[in-house]
Structure 1
């Protein structure tokens, strides 16, 4: 992607998923960006100087959350027009990835560190449409054939 300015959407649950994304700071710090995460104290503290769009939670296995966050994804992606959407999960990533794909965003998913030999539900759901699927353990390439192992983010 050769573009003078690249806009990134970093989407993920608060807690460990958000920490994973924040640890990519050397990549995103000099780019235009916005975050989609839960309106919780840890996220507000970590991202205090960042543009944050609050999503609905709890998300896991919640049809209500999926519907609300799909509407939010549609509205947000149409307005913000990100070039790249990056996530390490969890469920809130799903509507943002599928809506983002419709609008031509490149999709990068990072499977979480604590999964060594079993996929996550979010990983399984977004794997078919990702442009880059990153794992942190070589064993995970047996589960996700097109994955790239970049080793640990930590």
Structure 2
């Protein structure tokens, strides 16, 4: 199984790093921002840099959509996993076209309202993981697995 982890840098990347005991022996690659924390954390990992900023930035959404087409065609992952944020959107939608399974993990700190990315990828996610029971009110088909920390 080949896995694509697509995430913003910072807390979203930290969430995925919490799963290292699960992914460390699997073939994988990362798509994230070229920032100091991600360069440091992923220094020994196969990685690709996506375009940022992404918050309400249509130009970078388009660039990341073309990047998703290029990378997913090249790498052919079986599974795409994300905790957000915006880079996940084109990778999930393009990934579904390439028949990849997509798994989204809603972030730990969003209990009172859903994330924008979560709302956008929820309808197409093969598995939508929640860290709090309270998040079920936004994502009724989500599966509560508890906190990653």
Q: Give TM-score, length-normalised by structure 1.
A: 0.96
SS in 1 for 2:121: helix
| Structure 2 residue aligned with 1:130 | 125
1:63 to 36, 49, 58: 58
| Structure 2 residue aligned with 1:3 | none
List structure 1 runs of 4+ shifted beyond 2 angstroms.
none
Q: Does the alignment pair 1:51 with 2:46? A: yes
SS in 2 for 1:53: strand
| Structure 1 residue aligned with 2:78 | 83
Unpaired segments ≥5 residues, structure 1: 1-5
CA shift digits 1:42-93 (9 cap, x unpaired): 0010011000100000001110010000000000000000000000000000
Matched pairs, number: 149
Cα distance in 2, alignment partners of residues 76 and 140 from structure 1: 32
Cα distance in 2, alignment partners of residues 27 and 101 from structure 1: 23
SS in 2 for 1:133: strand
1:72 to 58, 67, 70: 67
1:100 to 91, 95, 99: 95
Q: Does the alignment pair 1:19 with 2:18? A: no
* Root mean square deviation, CA, Å: 0.5
Q: Does the alignment pair 1:148 with 2:143? A: yes
Q: 1:117·1:143 contact (CA, 8 Å) conserved in 2?
A: no
Displacement after TM superposition at 1:26 (Å): 1.1
Unpaired segments ≥5 residues, structure 2: none
Cα distance in 2, alignment partners of residues 132 and 64 from structure 1: 29
SS in 1 for 2:139: coil
